[in-house]
Amino acid sequence: MTNEQKQQVRDALVRYANKFDTQTRASESLEGISSSTISQVKNNNWELLSDRLWHHIAKQVGFFSGEWQAADTSSYLLLRILFSDAQHYGMTYGIAIGKGLGKTFTAVRYAHEHANTYYIEGNEQLNRKSFMTALMTAAGMNYRDGVPEMMQYFTDNIEQKEEPLLIVDDAHKLKDRVLHLLVLLSNSLAGKAGIIMMGADSLRGRIIDGVRTKKPGYDEIYKSIGRRFITLSSPGPKDIELVCHANGLYHEDIVTTIKEDCQNNLHLATTLIQMNNQIGLAA
């Protein structure tokens, strides 16, 4: 690993550690990385650190060099604008995005690159308490109590951060009561923290149908995001080509084949690009 790359890993580690209340808590969240190692990296005391350790740190703190590279696709650029806007102005946004547009990649990368940005992935198993636990873990907080107490502790601490942002991915998988909890957090942190409620297009349909049928709590959810969803449905005409070029694939015939075979799905395009790059390395 070059010194330039080590400097980039150091910067990524600093951003990561700053999300936690203490350096000790940051080290506890990393596998095989002690607090003293974090100090050595931050203070540029690198002589005794092996390349293997550097790579181990890099993989855990969001250093992407040599791995999959981002491209300025339409969805990548728009999502980052929305994340930044929500973060700077303490807004809550609802985003409904089609399959295969790279929402999770964009969100995770943004969280790694920006201080006080906390990402969690929704799933069907989360109840109110486990959701709050996941949120607090992402924010580097270690506090366990009843849900109201956890919410109060969380909001009290988040309010002290500079331009905090919460990104809740796959929100369409969350139970109604968890979505309602997210609305309570949004109301408590209005103007103080940005909140992104992001999921598949089914999230939009679910909320709007709930409002139309007067399902309890759904009008409050819709109101919290300004009674509108920001929607992204398909890649732009040059998005697949941009992803190919960003990841070292320029052969026009291969790029054209990938564009035809991936069916406008960036996930499938990623797989095809990686397969072609592996074939190129083996040739």
* pLDDT score of 63: 64
- Residue 62 clears pLDDT 70, i.e. is over it: no
Q: Looking at residues 182-197, what average pLDDT do you find?
A: 95
Cα gap 103→106, rounded to integer Å: 5
Would you give the DSSP letter of residue 164?
-
Q: How far is CA 263 from CA 92, 93, 235, 240, 258, in A?
A: 32, 29, 10, 10, 9
**What percent of the chain stands above pLDDT 70?**
95
Q: pLDDT digit string (tens) for 126-154?
A: 999 999 999 999 998 988 899 999 999 99
Cα gap 130→77, rounded to integer Å: 32
Neighbours of 166 (CB within 10 A): 27
- Residue 50 clears pLDDT 80, i.e. is over it: yes
Domain boundaries, the chain: 3-61, 74-232, 239-282
- Residue 185 clears pLDDT 70, i.e. is over it: yes
Which is more confidently placed, 94 or 99?
94
Q: Looking at residues 4-20, what average pLDDT do you find?
A: 85
Q: Residue with structure tokens 């939009």? A: 204
- Residue 116 clears pLDDT 90, i.e. is over it: yes
Closest CA to 29 of 108, 136, 102, 130: 136
Local confidence band at 69 (pLDDT 50, 70, 90 cut-offs): confident
Using the Cα atoms of residue 201, residue 205, residue 208 and residue 214 in order, give the sign of their dihedral: negative
Q: How far is CA 18 from CA 65, 71, 164, in A?
A: 21, 27, 12
Local confidence band at 282 (pLDDT 50, 70, 90 cut-offs): very low
Q: pLDDT digit string (tens) for 201-253?
A: 999 999 999 999 999 999 999 999 999 999 988 888 889 999 998 887 888 89
CATH of segment(s) 74-232: 3.40.50.300
Closest CA to 132 of 88, 84, 166, 172: 166
Does the pTM of the predicted model rise above 0.85?
no
- Residue 67 clears pLDDT 70, i.e. is over it: no
- Residue 1 clears pLDDT 80, i.e. is over it: no
Neighbours of 137 (CB within 10 A): 13
